[in-house]
Structure 1
Amino acid sequence: MASARPALNGQTLSATAADVADELGFEHVTVSEVARRVGVKPASVYFHLDGADDLRGRVSALALTELGERLALALAGRAGRDALEALVDAVRGYAVEHPGRWASTQVRITAPEAGAAGARVAALMLAVVRGYGLPPKEQTHAVRLIGSTVNGFVRLHVHGSFDHSDPDPEASWLRMTQALDTALTHWPTTATSEETAR
């Protein structure tokens, strides 16, 4: 007896699109591909969403929600360097396990649901930064440093940039985390001459 087809709704379509992103790449998330996977015509998919942009926005929302849940668990009861290590390891782990979902979080997001989920991720990252005692005006700079450093490392590693060089990338990852901890611990609190001149 054939198994029943899952109910066709926004949640099912979002999950299917997220799987497409992980398997084929976020750029391959299309209404036609999702329709093919759930066994319906594209017109049936359009009944539940507003097109490809809406579909990709739903993937972003799903990914940021999952990432937020993972970060909340990883950071519970941690502070300082312990929290920083938990943060970067959780982000890297999610990016490696779900490359397409992760890619969906690296683009401009317009979906309201994604914005709310992204705000939670940002708040958790800010909490780690606050643990280092940075003044409010410096906290966004620090969050951007962490995010861009982790994202850059993950992108290079996933694309094989470290495959033919020593030492092992894991050693570099530890050094990177140490460097971030040092940067946050000794964060410059005075404006540069360029900033002062503005």
Structure 2
Amino acid sequence: MARAGLTAERLTRAGAELADEVGFDQVTVSALARRFDVKVASLYSHVKSSQDLKTRIALLALDEMADRVAAALAGRAGKDALAAFANVYRDYAHEHPGRYAAAQLRLDPETAAASAGVRHAQMTRAVLRGYALTEPDQTHAVRLLGSVFHGYISLEMGGGFSHSAPDTQVTWSRTLDALDALLRNWPES
């Protein structure tokens, strides 16, 4: 019999909170059982394994970020859309470091196809429509933006920029300016 009040959704949310507190890599069914003061076996009627739990947290994070990006992009185009999009990712990573790490989890193709990751790709392409890029350059630009955003955020959160001036916010703003200039002046093949 399942313990009253425990559901897959509640466990996923608690796992996401745990990820933000201790790091995504530290999230296990055992750690979650300790949080609820229950035996590990009682959670297996809700989640199949630690990998299943991590996948659920990743899907939650992707959904949360997609909802934020959609709200931020409404009515924006060009550089305003680019900055809004980028700032959502950066802000989310700072607010929810474990969930942000979860969103980077490699999902199996079937799960990925049904996830909010598809919405992220569509919204990235919506931002790029303001720059009039055609294929295959649009795909190259999607990859460039993902690389720059994730790389910057990862370095910043890991303390990679803490030893020097200027302030990281200034560098972030200049990075977005540079990306906007590049996207407006995309090089010919």
State the TM-score, normalized to the length of structure 2: 0.93
Q: Which residue of 2 aligns with 1:103?
A: 101
1:167 and 1:113 map into 2 onto residues whose CA distance is 38
Q: 1:140 to 1:113 in 2, by over 3 A?
A: closer
1:114 and 1:24 map into 2 onto residues whose CA distance is 29
Give the deviation of 1:188 after TM superposition: 2.1
Q: Matched residue pairs, number?
A: 186
**Does the 8 Å contact 2:73/2:84 carry over to 1?**
yes
Alpha-carbon displacement from aligned partner over 1:87-126 (angstroms, at most 9, x marks no partner): 1111100011011100011121127278421111111111
Alpha-carbon displacement from aligned partner over 1:14-68 (angstroms, at most 9, x marks no partner): 0011011111111011000111112221111111121011100000000000000
What runs of 5+ residues in structure 1 fail to find an aligned partner? 191-198
Give the deviation of 1:155 after TM superposition: 1.2
**Does the 8 Å contact 1:31/1:55 carry over to 2?**
yes
RMSD: 1.6
Larger deviation, residues 149-158 vs 111-120: 111-120
**Does the 8 Å contact 1:16/1:34 carry over to 2?**
yes
The 5 A counterparts of 1:124-135 are 124-135=123-134
Q: Which residue of 2 aligns with 1:49?
A: 47
1:143 and 1:39 map into 2 onto residues whose CA distance is 44
What runs of 5+ residues in structure 2 fail to find an aligned partner? none
In structure 1, give the amino acid aligned to 2:37.
G
Structure 1 residue ranges (4+ consecutive) displaced by more than 4 angstroms after TM superposition: none
**Does the 8 Å contact 1:138/1:189 carry over to 2?**
no
**Does the 8 Å contact 2:55/2:105 carry over to 1?**
no
**Does the 8 Å contact 2:29/2:49 carry over to 1?**
yes
Q: Which residue of 2 aligns with 1:181?
A: 180
In structure 1, give the amino acid aligned to 2:71.
L
State the TM-score, normalized to the length of structure 1: 0.89
**Does the 8 Å contact 1:14/1:59 carry over to 2?**
yes
Alpha-carbon displacement from aligned partner over 1:114-167 (angstroms, at most 9, x marks no partner): 842111111111110122110032212111111111111111111212112111
The 5 A counterparts of 1:154-165 are 154-165=153-164
Identity within the alignment, %? 48
2:169 and 2:12 map into 1 onto residues whose CA distance is 33
The 5 A counterparts of 1:36-115 are 36-110=34-108, 112=111, 115=114
Larger deviation, residues 101-110 vs 114-123: 114-123
| Residue 167 of structure 1 pairs with residue 166 of structure 2 | yes
